Chains A and B, each alone.
Chain A
Amino acid sequence: DAKTTQPNSMESNEEEPVHLPCNHSTISGTDYIHWYRQLPSQGPEYVIHGLTSNVNNRMASLAIAEDRKSSTLILHRATLRDAAVYYCILIGGGTSYGKLTFGQGTILTVHP
């Protein structure tokens, strides 16, 4: 399975935008890019996913590089509730979620 690389940690101030990078240089043409986040003492929570085009939803935006070898999760205005571990994962075309493995993710700290 294609692997992703994320920074171990990032910091932000409240109400400022946050850009969380993810490198996936071995991505294949059918891999979808998914982002999940995990708040302390909770299970992971779906954030957003995309294939080639940039995506927006109520939680965040996903910017995908033209060559798809990297992507960036954008939180437009960070809040204290956004402090969490963010996971970037690739899921191949037709692949069951059963083949899925989460890496170590990025710990996001948000300062008041």
Chain B
Amino acid sequence: DAGITQSPRHKVTETGTPVTLRCHQTENHRYMYWYRQDPGHGLRLIHYSYGVKDTDKGEVSDGYSVSRSKTEDFLLTLESATSSQTSVYFCAISEGRKNTGELFFGEGSRLTVL
């Protein structure tokens, strides 16, 4: 299994509080991604990173920010959580940008915003 660890795995918070989810990899892969998964929507890309300090927006980036100060860590921050951000969040990594490779996913982080 690819070495991807997400933390926390479960979190309950209140509207308006900041939340940070962490993705840690031991594979030294260049590309890292954050997705959210909601019923009826499949997985949707929030942000991704193509290197240290290099990030870009995905399909549903509003309300989220990311940071990558080290190759192995990719942080997803909700500055002020809202109930619409209740979801399961998945981190993924890939070795390169070529479409012939695999995406490796973490186990997911379930976030509930009350």
Residues of chain A having any CB pair with chain B under 8 Å: 31-32, 34, 36, 41-46, 49, 87, 91-105
Contacts and interface: CB of A to CB of B under 8 A. Distances in A.
Q: At the interface, is chain A mostly helix, strand, loop or mixed?
A: loop
Contact of A32 (B41, B42, B99, B107): B99
Query: In which size bucket is the chain B interface?
Result: 20 to 34
Contacts, number: 71
Contacts of A105: 42
Nearest to A31: B99
Contacts of B106: 43
Interface stretch (B43-51, B69-77, B78-86): B43-51
A42 B4 CA distance: 13
Given A36-B103, A43-B90, A101-B59, A96 B31 contact: yes
Interface string B11-46: 000000000000000000001010100001111110
